[in-house]
Structure 1
Amino acid sequence: MASAAGNLLALTDDNLTEILIRLPTLEDFGRACVACPTFRRVITSHSFRRRLPALHTPSFLGIVSNVFVPSEPPHPYVAAAAGNLAAVDFSCSFLPSRDRWRRRDGRVLFSAGPEDSSEDHGDPGAMEISASDLAVCDPIHRRYLLLPAIPDDLVSLVDQQEIVEFEPFLAPATDEDEGSSSFKVICLAQSTSRMRVFEFSSGSGQWHASEFQGWEALTAETDNPDPGYQSELSTRYYANGSFCWVMPWIQKLLKLDPRTMGFYSMDIPPGHPMTQRAIVEAGERRFGYFTLHLDMIQTKSNGLMSCSRLFYTVLPNGYKGANELEPSEVIVLPLPLKHRFNIMGVARDHLLVQGIPENMYSLPVSERPALNCFSVNLKTLQLEWFCETKHPMLLAQMYVGFPLNLSPPTILDGKRALNLSIYYAFIRT
């Protein structure tokens, strides 16, 4: 034993890195962290964790609602999910005046209104910009960092009476930020004629404002029946290093590159504006495009039945004409019958959907069946059972990450936390 201990002490961190990086599974890294303080120091170092994602894909572990809903058998990540259930404060109860906050989206950003929530602040969009607090949170290690408010001189650049939507979110760190504690918060203030962008850098500790000059021209021919009230943008997705929104009223995909803060748009296949959609990575820097369709089919034995299908295509990189897309194969993925499905979200290599059984709401609450959630493996396009839930969860928060042993405090490490997708965003009620 003494000889073995001496041999271990003789190894440098570089030697140990080359040995430990060859462990076959993520669970093995977690066990090694617990087994030896030296192993833990090496495995949780920035240099080691830089190499880890290239060899092991973080696991899609579960869904975050008011509680954590882990994956269930036979999904391949069941063992990893079980270890995260009790250890993480998903509600972020450690925030001051916790009742001021509620969940917003799948990042680490929180926002809240003034302490006196009973005060009438007029237009809700105006209040969100001028009076909201923002906090960056780490639910694993129960830490948070309050950000300074957007300065009044920047807020005054926006006609707050015209705001249709105010959307704050956290941007992933770039490769140049590797090992640093920097992060960026972006807020889009959308109106009928302008798109104003507020950007906070943790490096400078200051807010900056800019404007997307092409917004008015892009939306000039919108079919939006109420552009002064209804957003032109769909749910936000992150793919190929860009934030993406579908613009269903004009059949465009809008992309924001957080490195340059430049906006770009491209055509998408035509479809009904109210169709549920999702944007995913399709390899070679291309974008995959999911749409969810619901039809009613006639069967001999059961009469009319709900039939949901996912349509998937890879968007072209270029164009053949003004409104002529390059042809691309459309793959149709059937979903279980007798259910109405919702797209819940995307987590790395998986798209999550939830099925609501037909006639569920006609039953007494005590007799309603559980709702089935399925994940679509984006590499194989195979449908996999994920879990059961008690309630519908539209646009739920996805939990993707490594074992908790490989997740050191992230409030000071924007790169690691964002890549592990352990963050959650909240906004004032």
Structure 2
Amino acid sequence: MAPAASRPILPDELTENILLRLDAAADVVRAAVACGDHLRIARHRCFQRQFRSLRPPPVLGLLPSGGAELICAEPPHRSAPAARAVAREGDFAFSFLPRDPAAFTDWRVFDARDGRVLLSRRSTEAATFVDLVICDPPHRRYVLIPPIPDEVVLKRYSAKMESEPFLAAACEGEESKFQVIYNWISQYKIDTFVFSSDTGKWCAATSISFLPSRLIANPKVLRRYYVGSHFYWVHGPYGHMLVLDQIEMKFSIVAIPFDGNDYIYGIYQACESSPFSMLE
């Protein structure tokens, strides 16, 4: 019997280059579990960061504010099969969430990020802040966010003011944790509170006043975007945009470098993909 051919040993640099050429993270995982050398390379943070920079996360669909369904990506979009599978297995009507028959309002989608969905409803006990819940539709799991305590608020708010809850982006290596940012908006000021899943508590994070310069005349009409650890609120005719640094949790107002009569419809960015958590 002829001796079995020995498996060629490839340098790590060449193996890494091959793995980086795979189409999706799932392909890397399959290759990693089949070979110890592949697994060692795929587990390395440098490799994962490089792969994420080359492979943006797939867009599976859109969530209307009222929920009820996932509007799936359709062929020939490459995410169409995955979108159909998620829509079939998940509960995007959010029927697993607690209901209050006495309430006049029900849960509605407010934000979605990193596979989580943030929903809100007007509290029946308070006329100002809204009830919040974070949920995972494919697994029908949810976490109720506690109300902001009085000792954190420290001031009186009016129901005429506007609430804007949204999800912070997950930090590298901390994808299992989440933060909810809650802006309380008047015509002249924004107060910002942050809830951390790590502590289970709210804290008063920052605030900004638009007086006396009034560079932003009405913050309630601003549209929010997220790019590179910063949130941007934009309304083109104002000529200025509001910026929140998610890391430093500080606001600033930045001039828009073009004619204020132009509208902004998007902020271009490079995206990152989901983590290789199953290889840990």
Structure 1: which 5+ residue stretches go unaligned? 8-13, 225-230, 284-347, 349-399, 409-429
* Structure with larger RCO (C-alpha < 8 A, sep 6+): 1
SS at match of 1:84: helix
Equivalent residue in structure 2 for 1:265, among 253, 256, 262: 253
Q: Shift in Å at residue 29 of structure 1?
A: 2.1
Corresponding position of 1:53: 52
SS at match of 1:57: coil
Pairing 1:27-426 to 2, within 5 Å after superposition = 29=27, 32=30, 52-65=51-64, 66-97=68-99, 100-107=106-113, 108-114=117-123, 127-129=127-129, 132-161=130-159, 163=161, 165-175=162-172, 178-179=173-174, 181-219=176-214, 222=217, 231-248=219-236, 250-268=238-256, 269-271=259-261, 277-281=264-268, 348=271
In structure 2, the CA distance between the partners of 1:282 and 1:200, relative to structure 1 (3 Å rule), is: closer
Question: Does the Cα contact within 8 Å between 2:223 and 2:233 map onto a contact in 1?
Answer: yes
Query: Quick one: which amino acid aligns to residue 64 of structure 1?
Result: L
Give me the whole-angstrom Cα distance separating, in 1, the residues matched to 2:40 and 2:110: 35
Q: Shift in Å at residue 64 of structure 1?
A: 2.6
Give me the whole-angstrom Cα distance separating, in 2, the residues matched to 1:19 and 1:271: 47
Q: Shift in Å at residue 218 of structure 1?
A: 4.8
In structure 2, the CA distance between the partners of 1:49 and 1:214, relative to structure 1 (3 Å rule), is: same
Give me the whole-angstrom Cα distance separating, in 2, the residues matched to 1:85 and 1:43: 33
Structure 2: which 5+ residue stretches go unaligned? none
Q: Shift in Å at residue 194 of structure 1?
A: 2.0
Question: Does the Cα contact within 8 Å between 1:89 and 1:142 map onto a contact in 2?
Answer: yes
Query: Quick one: which amino acid aligns to residue 60 of structure 1?
Result: V
SS at match of 2:132: strand
CA RMSD of aligned residues (A): 4.2
Question: Does the Cα contact within 8 Å between 1:29 and 1:43 map onto a contact in 2?
Answer: no
Q: Shift in Å at residue 154 of structure 1?
A: 2.9
Instruction: Using structure 2 for the length normalisation, give the TM-score.
Output: 0.70
Question: Does the Cα contact within 8 Å between 1:239 and 1:280 map onto a contact in 2?
Answer: yes
In structure 2, the CA distance between the partners of 1:280 and 1:43, relative to structure 1 (3 Å rule), is: farther
SS at match of 2:138: coil
Question: Does the Cα contact within 8 Å between 2:53 and 2:273 map onto a contact in 1?
Answer: no
Q: Shift in Å at residue 111 of structure 1?
A: 2.4
Structure with higher strand content: 1
Question: Does the Cα contact within 8 Å between 1:233 and 1:248 map onto a contact in 2?
Answer: no
Q: Shift in Å at residue 150 of structure 1?
A: 0.2
In structure 2, the CA distance between the partners of 1:193 and 1:19, relative to structure 1 (3 Å rule), is: closer
Query: Quick one: which amino acid aligns to residue 261 of structure 2?
Result: G
Question: Does the Cα contact within 8 Å between 1:43 and 1:49 map onto a contact in 2?
Answer: no
Query: Quick one: which amino acid aligns to residue 93 of structure 2?
Result: S
Query: Quick one: which amino acid aligns to residue 96 of structure 2?
Result: F
**Per-residue Cα deviation, 1:99-153 (whole angstroms, up to 9, x for no partner):** 7311223342222344xx5xxx6xxxx6241xx3322212222221222210023
- Between the two proteins, what is the percent identity of the paired residues? 32
Query: Quick one: which amino acid aligns to residue 259 of structure 1?
Result: I
Please tell me whether residue 25 in structure 1 is matched to residue 20 in structure 2. no
Q: Shift in Å at residue 280 of structure 1?
A: 1.6
Q: Shift in Å at residue 188 of structure 1?
A: 0.6
Instruction: Using structure 1 for the length normalisation, give the TM-score.
Output: 0.49
Query: Quick one: which amino acid aligns to residue 270 of structure 1?
Result: G
In structure 2, the CA distance between the partners of 1:73 and 1:112, relative to structure 1 (3 Å rule), is: closer
Give me the whole-angstrom Cα distance separating, in 1, the residues matched to 2:25 and 2:198: 34
Query: Quick one: which amino acid aligns to residue 90 of structure 2?
Result: V
